[in-house]
Amino acid sequence: MAKRKEDAPAPGSPAWMATFSDLMNLLLCFFVMLFAMSSIEEAKLQEFVAAMNNTFSVFDGGASAIGDGFLISNGVSQLNELDQYINSTGKTADSETDGEDFNEFEMSPEAMEEILQDQMLQENEERVEEMEEALRENDIADEVEVSFTAQYVKLTMNGGLLFDSGSAQLKDEAKLIIDKVGLMLERYGNGGSIEIEGHTDNVPMKSAQYPSNEELSSARALSVFYYLLDTTSLDPINLKHAGMGERVPIADNATPEGRSRNRRVEILIYNPSQK
């Protein structure tokens, strides 16, 4: 029996390619429309609508060409009202904003500064909790008082504990305390400035070596400064010292107790974020 010849394929492209091409065109139009809708500038949107209308006749003839499907025909036809929808959201429409550009994420310098201060205050509060724990572990919590602001953490040591009356030479027992404070500064102070301030009471200071409280307070701050330089690995660039004399009392100089509190050395550990 003679073999039957197979039918020759019909000339031209297969039928499925026409459907595939239509699908690709629709996808192209769909993504172009998504891109156009991502823009909120009315002028550019109108240019896009006009170009698509003139080139592909998608917007005017979409329903009759594609069909009355809810997701395609109705969705495409609603693009003619797109600019009205965008204006109703308040994102464009210059008349509604009186010609002013408004950015809801723009923040005033004052608000930014307030946020920074709150962040620094929280950081210093956490640092103080750790330092107070370290003071207790080193048995010097009674000798060193800790306080803080957003700008710095302050360690206060009584002057009578560190120096003899009228002297700027550190006592031997004072060096033991400052050794432990120095370890804390190495752990918590690197990265920011550290300022050592000497303070006195208001009793006039008259001696050959220190003719005033200004000189005495400066000499005491300098003694602590040099001792920390010699016994710690703190960066000298970050260390400062100042004599404040009697100008910044923390207690009433009219009483012996108040004068004793005013004779002190303060170490201010500034937050690294401080300008």
- Write out pLDDT tens, residues 34-55: 776 665 566 666 776 676 666 5
Give the model confidence (pLDDT) of 217-233 as tens digits.
999 999 999 999 999 99
CA-wise closest residue to 165 among 197, 196, 209: 209
Whether 174 contacts 162, CB under 8 Å? yes
Distance between the two ends of the chain, CA-based, in angstroms? 102
Task: Give the pLDDT of residue 138.
Answer: 93
Q: Running DSSP on this structure, what letter comes out for residue 103? A: -
Element (H, E) at 156: strand 152-158
Range of weakest confidence among 18-27, 127-136, 179-188: 18-27
CA-wise closest residue to 158 among 32, 227, 241, 257: 257
Element (H, E) at 183: helix 172-188
Task: Give the pLDDT of residue 56.
Answer: 55
Q: Pick the more confident residue, 116 or 69.
A: 116
Helix (H, G, I), strand (E, B) or coil at 21: helix
Whether 275 contacts 193, CB under 8 Å? no
Q: What's the pLDDT band for 93 if we cut at 50, 70, 90?
A: very low
Task: Give the pLDDT of residue 247.
Answer: 96
Q: What percent of the chain has pLDDT over 90?
A: 52
**Strand 194-199 versus strand 239-245 pairing type:** parallel
User: Does residue 15 carry a pLDDT above 90?
Assistant: no
Six-digit token string for 185: 């500064």
Residue 269 phi, psi (nearest 5) = -100, 105
Half-sphere exposure of 43 (CA within 13 A, CB side): 1
Task: Give the pLDDT of residue 73.
Answer: 46
Six-digit token string for 246: 């009697």
Q: How many CB atoms lie within 10 A of CB 46?
A: 11
Task: Give the pLDDT of residue 171.
Answer: 96
- What is the rounded distance in angstroms from the CA atom of residue 104 to the CA atom of residue 91? 11
Q: What's the pLDDT band for 24 if we cut at 50, 70, 90?
A: confident
Q: What percent of the chain has pLDDT over 70?
A: 70
